């Protein structure tokens, strides 16, 4: 077994080889990795069966489905890598260029970060997605998969490394941490000088641990307590449609709504219609409401919200509901409870909409649109390495550009500073 330290050293060594590759060389590597992935389908499926057998009884059926690989799913992973090959290169772009009065030329040019480490959980496709995005952006990547998916991830990385070797790129450009204990995650968090960017993809516990312990640069991702505010001036039909979509189209993802805030001005008429739409007999999957005291008067049969319900990412068919005093009240509630991911206002009042978009401090702020659109693909990035909920460097969906940094290159002819 390779130690994490050995992997870090090998990754650092691989940086120089990767940062000089042309777009064509990187794209050829991605196609080669995709082909190698498909060629290794049998090995990967066998490894995946090991993971599934070990997981049985330990994880929920939803989690087991996330973990499950099939020939089709491996094909989709390979296609994902081919799609990344088609994206424009984010490296080598001249962001700014100007000539100093003394004649020297100053250029601000995008460059790879260097070594990007990703800590993630059980979805095996993250292994190939992350490797593809890192490689296309010229970065060496270190992957730390969740324990439950380790065998699958190991088989996938072996295939990807074969693909790299086939085109003359060091396999150390994509490496998997072999120690699946918490110690290896901690080691990555404190690998100063080795890890240029750490992206933790996982639950609130992992993110918090990174904030507390990481000394390497780190981007917080993912946790989404997303709010839909239904304003007094809302088109109620739009509001119901957006709310239903944001809550129920895919409750397990971070851009799903967890909280509905309703303007006191329309609470009495809106809340019963909302209850009927989300919880009534014609709802495809009934939603459990957890309502604050004011809403409880209007919806006497709904469950009352507990102290934590407005600070919980349910990731389930559960919706917390509160009545607020107009857009001001909504903004205040969001400021106190949001995770700065995605929030929406439903209103036909432009003034209320403008106030909401200016005052809400989140990565994505929507007017009359479902929060479910916060996604790299939907935002036109072509891909996604995660959704940043912090303000430094990257906010919202992270694509290839967010995996680069820049340097200034200044060329002259002997210029000195007076």
Residues near its own copies (CB under 8 A) are 16, 19-20, 98, 100, 104, 106, 113-114, 192, 196-197, 211-212, 215, 217, 219, 235, 237-238, 241-242, 244-246, 249, 353, 357-359, 361-370, 372-374, 378-380, 390-393, 395-396, 405-418
* Residue (of 43, 46, 48) closest to 65 by Cα position: 48
Q: How far is CA 319 from CA 248, 251, 356, 403, in A?
A: 10, 10, 21, 34
How far apart are CB 84 and its own copies at their closest, in Å?
20
The angle that helices 23-39 and 150-166 make with each other, rounded to 10 degrees, is 130
Residue with Cβ nearer its own copies (177 or 257): 257
Cβ atoms of 81 and 130 within 8 Å: the answer is no
Residue with Cβ nearer its own copies (259 or 353): 353
What tokens appear for 244 in the block?
A: 């239903």
Residue with Cβ nearer its own copies (27 or 220): 220
How far apart are CB 174 and its own copies at their closest, in Å?
20
Q: How far is CA 230 from CA 159, 215, 238, 379, in A?
A: 49, 41, 10, 24
Cβ atoms of 327 and 346 within 8 Å: the answer is no
d(CA 258, CA 316): 9
How far apart are CB 412 and its own copies at their closest, in Å?
4
How far apart are CB 106 and its own copies at their closest, in Å?
6
Residue with Cβ nearer its own copies (19 or 63): 19
Residue with Cβ nearer its own copies (51 or 258): 258
How far apart are CB 212 and its own copies at their closest, in Å?
6
* Residue (of 141, 131, 144, 140) closest to 183 by Cα position: 144
Measure the CA angle with vertex 391, ends 388 and 394; round to 5°. Answer: 50
Residue with Cβ nearer its own copies (53 or 411): 411
How far apart are CB 348 and its own copies at their closest, in Å?
10
């Amino acid at each position: 077994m390779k130690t994490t330290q050995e992997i870090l050293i090998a990754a650092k060594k691989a940086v120089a080889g990767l940062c000089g590759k042309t777009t064509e060389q990187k794209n050829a590597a991605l196609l080669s990795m995709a082909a190698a992935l498909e060629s290794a389908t049998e090995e990967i499926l066998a490894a995946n069966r090991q993971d599934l057998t070990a997981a049985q009884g330990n994880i929920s059926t939803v989690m087991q489905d996330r973990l499950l690989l099939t020939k089709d799913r491996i094909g989709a992973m390979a296609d994902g890598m081919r799609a990344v090959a088609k994206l424009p290169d984010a490296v080598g772009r001249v962001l700014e260029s100007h000539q100093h009065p003394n004649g020297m030329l100053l250029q601000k040019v995008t460059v790879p970060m260097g070594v990007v480490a990703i800590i993630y959980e059980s979805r095996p496709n993250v292994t190939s997605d992350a490797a593809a995005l890192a490689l296309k952006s010229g970065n060496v990547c270190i992957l730390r998969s969740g324990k439950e998916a380790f065998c699958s991830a190991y088989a996938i990385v072996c295939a990807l490394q074969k693909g790299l070797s086939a085109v003359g790129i060091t396999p150390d450009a994509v490496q998997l941490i072999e120690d699946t204990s918490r110690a290896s995650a901690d080691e990555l968090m404190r690998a100063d000088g080795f890890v240029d960017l750490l992206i933790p993809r996982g639950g609130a516990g992992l993110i918090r641990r990174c904030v507390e312990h990481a000394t390497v640069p780190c981007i917080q991702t993912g946790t989404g307590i997303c709010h839909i505010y239904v304003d007094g001036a809302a088109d109620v039909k739009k509001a119901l449609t957006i709310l239903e979509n944001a809550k129920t189209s895919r409750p397990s993802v971070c851009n799903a709504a967890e909280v509905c805030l309703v303007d006191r001005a329309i609470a009495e008429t809106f809340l019963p219609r909302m209850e009927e739409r989300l919880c009534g007999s014609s709802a495809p999957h009934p939603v459990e409401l957890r309502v604050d005291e004011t809403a409880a008067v209007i919806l006497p049969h709904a469950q009352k919200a507990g102290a934590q319900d407005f600070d919980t990412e349910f990731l389930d068919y559960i919706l917390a509901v509160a009545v607020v005093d107009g857009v001001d009240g909504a903004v205040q509630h969001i400021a106190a409870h949001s995770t700065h991911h995605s929030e929406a206002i439903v209103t036909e009042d432009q003034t209320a909409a403008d106030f909401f978009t200016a005052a809400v401090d989140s990565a994505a702020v929507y007017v009359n649109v479902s929060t479910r659109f916060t996604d790299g693909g939907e935002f036109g990035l072509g891909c996604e390495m995660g959704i940043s909920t912090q303000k430094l460097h990257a906010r919202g969906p992270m694509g290839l550009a967010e995996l680069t940094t820049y340097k200034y290159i200044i060329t002259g002819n002997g210029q000195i500073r007076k």
